[in-house]
């Protein structure tokens, strides 16, 4: 599976390409305010951070071998092969300080707070085989020899109180306050000759030094000795090599990145270098070289990541033509690396959260991208912030839908679409197109946001035609204000014409008619469903006229609930008897003639209330008592004055 890169890259643009048309980069130094380039023609170019040439110093007549910018970004020191010149130029004043050391100078470094110090010290070294500390004295400039006699000085780096330099023997460190050399880091056995490949040094902190030389990497930490050791005459400080390893390539640059190491690698066959006396400098034509690579390794040398860099002209360059400059940032993402070649400079930075999410999106890993964006919260700026998250989320929904993972897509909708009604409606239509309304329904919002009534009606129509229990459940749970109730009532009534005994349809119709305030219709469906307490609607909404035409239905309801009625007289019968003035007795008897038992119950209740009410129907009752309540027949005959025995 493809691994995500650790760094992102872009070419330094601006006027760099124009600058390098007739010249080539030999060295570089960087600050958080500007960049300094040294060229083979002896020019020092000052560029802004996007690569535009803003100033130039023609200080040398030969290759600029090294550059150093003071911490405050006010002075640039340059060393050169032209008779050992070191020139320190002020960037904001006309001040120029030239120094001539007779022999080619390969390395120079300013004291860290150079622009603020009165001593104005710098250290330099080269083919004169001396490491010199130069600065202002009482009677002008003075030079102090820190070290000599071990061959040319190839590199020097000054940070805080310590100066580290490399010569043919190895790397040494000088303690400025105590004026002592206290450390020697030798080169591993079997290393190529010291002059064949440049020694690359980078201070990670005031006490941590990274060294990459040929195929060797070492990490050194400066530590203080105990008072007892110091009293015995040992230096105040010493160096501990906390890790070291060999590489399968030549190290052309080294820099820290949190707890890993960034190496600029020149890929070559190390076996070919064992008996080589000298490596030719500059472009060569005998073979095409491989492109350099950025290798990210842990402190044991194990690979973490690597990227091949296609720099302009890489086919013609060797290890010493490349450099890696490092600008530490206040955060991980602000660390910056400059990969330098004669005709090209590439800027590398750690990939941030935006890059991570964009990488996931480019590979259609939308779920991971969405989770990363949401987990980051306000830390994720996004290219379009919230809109970016919405875009990622919708791409993820599309992927799920295309994979027929409809339930999962529906489950993700509230998380992705949030409170955007327009997006919700768009996706409901998508689900409808794919006949997956059932999947989205449980997650469909009915408030915050509330969608258009058309969307809800689409869902209702779908369930009405495919899933009646589901339709009933939706009607029960959805607030009626979100859809057009009369429209839905009309659809339900049309469905009942073909399926009149459907309990689900009747339940839905009852709810809808109640919402629609058609209480007579609600009563009708409530009676058919045998809903407890439904008879309360009659008095509450003056539905006596409705009852006149549905007496049998009311009595059937009473029969179904007879066991739940604590009174010996059923509720429906009580209503019919109590409101005989509004529910005519003749209408009741007419509808109950087909059901003798119901007719008996009604006429008996009417007789018990008032022996004179409904007297015209007394001739019917002896037969009814005889069939349904024979013991009470004698009482009726004795009490009724409207029954004729002769008949």
The reported pTM is: 0.74
pLDDT score for 552: 94
What are the residue ranges in the chain where pLDDT is below 50?
Answer: 284-285, 384
| pLDDT, position 2 | 82
pLDDT in the model for residue 384? 45
Neighbours of 363 (CB within 10 A): 13
In tens, the pLDDT along 31-53 reads 999 999 999 999 999 999 999 99
Query: Sign of the C-alpha dihedral, residues 594, 598, 601, 606?
Result: negative
Q: Say if residues 299 and 259 touch (Cβ distance below 8 Å).
A: yes
Could you give the CA distance from residue 136 to residue 192 in angstroms, rounded to a whole number?
39
Which CATH code for domain 7-349?
Answer: 2.130.10.10
Q: Which of 262, 272, 264, 265 is nearest to 249 (CA)?
A: 265
The Cα 39–Cα 23 span in angstroms is: 7
Q: What is the pLDDT of residue 132?
A: 97
Phi then psi dihedrals of residue 152, to 5 deg: -60, 150
Separation CA 389–CA 369 (nearest Å): 9
Long-range contacts of residues 31-39, Cβ cutoff 8 Å, at least 24 apart: 31/69, 31/73, 31/327, 32/73, 32/327, 33/73, 34/69, 34/73, 34/91, 35/338, 36/67, 36/69, 36/76, 36/78, 37/67, 38/63, 38/64, 38/65, 38/66, 38/67, 38/78, 39/63, 39/64
Domain limits, the chain: 7-349, 352-443, 542-647
pLDDT of residue 194: 87
């Amino acid at each position: 599976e493809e691994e995500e890169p650790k760094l992102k890259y872009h070419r330094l643009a601006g006027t760099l390409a124009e600058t390098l048309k007739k010249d080539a980069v030999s060295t570089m130094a960087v600050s958080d305010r500007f960049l300094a380039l040294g060229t083979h023609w002896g020019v020092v170019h000052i560029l802004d951070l996007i690569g535009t040439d803003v100033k130039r110093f023609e200080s040398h007549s030969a290759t600029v071998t090294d550059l150093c910018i003071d911490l405050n970004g006010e002075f640039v020191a340059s060393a050169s092969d032209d008779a050992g010149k070191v020139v320190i130029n002020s960037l904001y004043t006309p001040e120029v300080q030239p120094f001539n050391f007779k022999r080619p100078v390969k390395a120079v470094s300013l004291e860290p707070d150079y622009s603020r110090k009165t001593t104005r010290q710098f250290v330099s070294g080269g083919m004169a085989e001396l490491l010199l500390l130069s600065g202002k004295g009482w009677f002008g400039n003075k030079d102090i020899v820190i070290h000599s006699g071990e061959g040319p000085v190839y590199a020097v780096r000054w940070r805080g109180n310590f100066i580290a330099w490399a010569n043919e023997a190895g790397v040494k460190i000088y303690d400025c306050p105590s004026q002592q050399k206290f450390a020697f880091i030798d080169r591993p056995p079997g290393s190529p000759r010291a002059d064949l490949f440049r020694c690359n040094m980078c201070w990670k902190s005031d006490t941590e030094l990274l060294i990459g030389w040929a195929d060797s990497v070492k990490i050194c930490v400066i530590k203080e000795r105990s008072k007892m050791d110091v009293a015995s005459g040992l230096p105040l400080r010493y160096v501990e090599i906390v890790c070291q390893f060999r590489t399968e390539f030549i190290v052309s640059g080294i820099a820290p990145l949190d707890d890993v190491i960034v190496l600029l690698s020149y890929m070559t066959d190390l076996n070919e270098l064992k008996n080589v006396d000298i490596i030719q400098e500059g472009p060569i034509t005998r073979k095409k070289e491989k492109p350099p690579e950025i290798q990210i390794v842990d402190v044991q040398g194990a690979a973490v990541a690597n990227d091949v860099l296609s720099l302009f002209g890489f086919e013609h360059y060797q290890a010493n033509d490349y450099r890696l400059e490092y600008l530490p940032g206040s955060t991980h993402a602000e660390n910056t690396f400059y990969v330098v070649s004669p005709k090209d400079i590439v800027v590398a930075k750690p990939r941030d959260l935006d890059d991570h999410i964009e990488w996931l999106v480019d590979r259609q890993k939308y779920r991971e991208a969405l989770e990363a964006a949401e987990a980051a919260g306000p830390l994720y700026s996004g290219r379009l912030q919230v809109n970016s998250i919405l875009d990622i989320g919708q791409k993820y929904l599309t992927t799920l839908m295309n994979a027929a993972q409809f339930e999962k897509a529906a489950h993700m909708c509230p998380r992705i679409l949030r409170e955007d009604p327009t997006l919700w409606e768009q996706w409901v239509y998508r689900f409808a197109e794919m006949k997956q309304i059932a999947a989205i329904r449980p997650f469909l919002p009915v408030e915050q946001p509330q969608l258009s009534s058309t969307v809800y009606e689409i869902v209702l129509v779908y369930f009405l035609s495919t899933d009646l229990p589901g339709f009933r459940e939706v009607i029960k749970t959805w607030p009626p204000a979100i859809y057009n109730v009369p429209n839905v009532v009309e659809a339900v009534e049309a469905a009942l014409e073909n399926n009149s005994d459907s309990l689900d349809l009747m339940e839905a119709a009852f709810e809808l008619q109640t919402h629609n305030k058609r209480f007579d219709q609600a009563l009708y469906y409530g009676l058919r469903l045998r809903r407890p307490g439904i008879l309360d609607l009659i008095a509450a909404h003056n539905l006596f006229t409705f009852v006149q035409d549905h007496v049998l239905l009311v009595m059937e309801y009473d029969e179904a609930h007879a066991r739940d009625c604590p009174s010996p007289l059923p509720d429906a019968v009580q209503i019919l008897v109590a409101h005989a003035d509004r529910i005519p007795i003749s209408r009741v008897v007419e509808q109950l003639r087909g059901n003798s038992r119901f007719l008996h119950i009604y006429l008996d209740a009417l007789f018990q209330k008032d022996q004179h009410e409904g007297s015209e129907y007394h001739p019917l009752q002896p037969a009814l008592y005889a069939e349904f309540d024979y013991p009470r027949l004698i009482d009726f005959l004795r009490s009724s004055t409207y029954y004729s025995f002769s008949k």
